[in-house]
Amino acid sequence: MGTRITFVAGLAVGYVLGAKAGRDRYDQIRKATRSFVDSAPVQSAGHAAAGFSRDAGGKAVQKLGEHLPERVGRHLPDKFASSDGVHHNGRSAANRRYDDGL
């Protein structure tokens, strides 16, 4: 209960201080933030981060595509076996890998 009271008191103090600052101060802070975000160094850093995340994401997807069929294939092949546990290619379901194709 004490945490709620502290939280509500913090909200009230923030509201009062924000109301006293007024619309002019809000517009001033907004303008400064916009000029910072639009600056060349920040834009350059943002583009570099986006490129890095695109490359890293592509590599992660590639690795996942390489390893996921193998790992999933260890657990699911029995679901696709015939009643005797042997597939049309002569291998047992336990030895079959997903990346060989279903």
Longest C-alpha distance within the chain, in Å?
Answer: 80
**Exposed, middle or buried: residue 91 (CB in 10 Å: 0-12, 13-18, 19+)?**
middle
Average pLDDT over residues 13-34: 82
pTM score of the predicted model:
0.40
Helices (H), the chain: 2-37, 40-73
Q: Return the residue matching tokens 């945490």.
A: 3
Quick check: 93 and 80 in contact, CB under 8 A?
A: yes
Residue 53 in tokens? 């995340």
Tokens (6 digits) for 24: 């002019």
| Each residue's pLDDT tens digit, 33-88 | 899 999 999 999 999 999 999 999 888 888 888 877 777 766 665 555 555 544 44
CA distances from 102 to 25, 27, 78, 81, 92 (A): 65, 61, 12, 11, 13
SS (HEC) of 23-38: HHHHHHHHHHHHHHHC
Query: How many residues belong to the chain?
Result: 102
Q: What is the pLDDT of residue 102?
A: 52
